[in-house]
Amino acid sequence: MTVIILMSSCRQQSLPNSLEAINIINKDRPIELDIYDIVDSISYIPLETLEKCLLGELQRTKRDGDFYFVEDTKGLFVFGKDGRFLNEIAHKGNAPGEYLYMDNFYLDRKNKQVCIINNVQKRILRYAYDGTYISMSYLGDKDANIESAMLCDGGELLAFYPLPNDLFHVDSEYRVFREKGDTLVSERIMDAKALTTKDAFYPFLYFPMVTFNNKYFLASVFSNELYQYENGKTFPVYHVDTSATIPDEAFLDEHKDLDFFELLKIMNQRNIGTGITALEASSDYLFALIDNRKTLVWDGEKG
């Protein structure tokens, strides 16, 4: 009987709104999972230390095969599979091929290019992996507040935007970009929620997009739903079945004029969760951070 119950609870059940539920058999009693339960081995790669690549405050890292791209406050550096320093991607400055600001970067793995997002100057600059400058595309005024981006196999660029504040009154949580000459033309694919951070720039979701099982999954602010991007559209496909409640539309509408951090305090007092706050993936698992406290490990069939 116990085996039957466990097998049944692992299946994805249909919800009234046509979403698939990722049922978690231990959602009320999370376990401490050892990393070796889900990986075969761990390797450590010490990065080479040279005067021209002294890393300080790391911002983000990305990998493509044997190339490791490491961004810190001074620039973007490339290391090989053995940790040997290879080169820096461009330099900060006003000269042709240089950049003044780097808000984020993404990889074009198909064309082996590094793409630096510069919101202040409303442009995206592309470089070869060896640091050679290739080209630049311009962003429209309403588009130049990208927090993070991911390139799809079809060439579309998915962009996530931070919560609106008194400086940036954005209407989108996600937009998709396509190239038109030297300009990136955008289309809104997910509306921004009626929330505000007032005077603070606050992205909230730092890792909102991931590729898993050849599909593009997105997270949304204050949601337990996994969204999928396909053919120019974004739609919810899975619901993460957790014990915590998340704020509904009526609650958000009631508090839409509150500063976001004040709203978080009220939610904490009422034991209301924040939903999915980050996504990551390997070839075997999708990881979803829930309420900034627990992580769902999902293999595409069961959680």
What is the mean pLDDT for each group of 10 consecutive residues in the chain (303 residues)?
Answer: 35 56 85 86 91 89 96 94 95 86 94 95 96 95 92 94 87 94 94 90 93 96 96 94 85 90 94 95 94 92 87
What pLDDT score does 201 carry?
87
User: CA separation (Å) from 272 to 26, 205, 213?
Assistant: 20, 17, 31
How many residues are there in the chain?
A: 303
Whether 296 and 240 have beta carbons less than 8 Å apart is answered as yes
Cα distance between residue 299 and residue 303, in whole Å: 7
* 3-state SS assignment for residue 271: coil
Q: Which residues are paired to 228 by β-bridges?
A: 217, 235
DSSP letters of 292-303? TTEEEEE-SS--
Angle at 208 between CA 287 and CA 275, to 5 degrees: 70
Residue 209 backbone dihedrals phi, psi, to 5 degrees: -130, 145
Pairing of strands 20-22, 13-14: antiparallel
Q: Residue 272 has what DSSP assignment? A: B
What pLDDT score does 17 carry?
58
| Token code pair at residue 217 | 């999954």
Domains of the chain: 46-138 (2.40.10)
- Only one residue has tokens 């603070």, namely 200
Cα distance between residue 146 and residue 36, in whole Å: 36
What pLDDT score does 94 carry?
84
What pLDDT score does 1 carry?
32
Q: List CB contacts of 195: < 8 A, sequence separation 6 or more.
A: 163, 164, 221, 222, 252, 256, 260, 263
- Whole-prediction pTM: 0.88
User: CA separation (Å) from 103 to 29, 84, 99?
Assistant: 39, 25, 11
Cα distance between residue 55 and residue 51, in whole Å: 9
What pLDDT score does 256 carry?
85
